[in-house]
Amino acid sequence: MLVLVLLGRQPYRFNELHRAIDGISQRMLTRTLRGLESAGLVLREVHPTVPPSVEYRLTPLGQSLLGPLSQLADWAVRNEAALAAGRHPATAATSTGPR
């Protein structure tokens, strides 16, 4: 979700995107981008430079997903208390806090 939101703001080169997402491994970012690309949400563009430069951007289909993602995020914020109350006590302590 974060990759889509970031790419919705502007195109990114791989290392720029990697730096922008705290804690993601290169392997996981690569897998995420490949999955989004195969789903038709992200376009991978190779520029003929030395060394080759690769840039990622959202496709029109990916752009169309930003609205529903925003609505989902708004829903989560509105229902944060209810979601927290519904957690199992054993997982509630470990589930709080940013990821």
CATH code, domain carrying 46: 1.10.10.10
Q: 76 lies in a domain?
A: yes
Q: 53 lies in a domain?
A: yes
Residues 54 and 92: their CA atoms lie apart, in Å, by 41
Residues 85 and 99: their CA atoms lie apart, in Å, by 19
pLDDT at residue number 51: 87
pLDDT at residue number 84: 87
Q: 55 lies in a domain?
A: yes
Which residue in 69, 10, 3 sits closest to 37, CA to CA?
Answer: 3
The whole-angstrom distance between residue 49's C-alpha and the CA centroid of its chain comes to 27
pLDDT at residue number 52: 86
Under-70 pLDDT residues of the chain: 89-99
pLDDT at residue number 90: 62
Number of domains, the chain: 1
Per the structure, the complete domain to which residue 27 belongs is given by 2-85
Q: 61 lies in a domain?
A: yes
Q: 96 lies in a domain?
A: no
Q: 91 lies in a domain?
A: no
Residues 45 and 24: their CA atoms lie apart, in Å, by 22
> In which order are the strands placed within the sheet that holds 42-47?
12-13, 53-58, 42-47
Given the DSSP bridges, would you call strands 42-47 and 53-58 parallel, antiparallel or unpaired? antiparallel
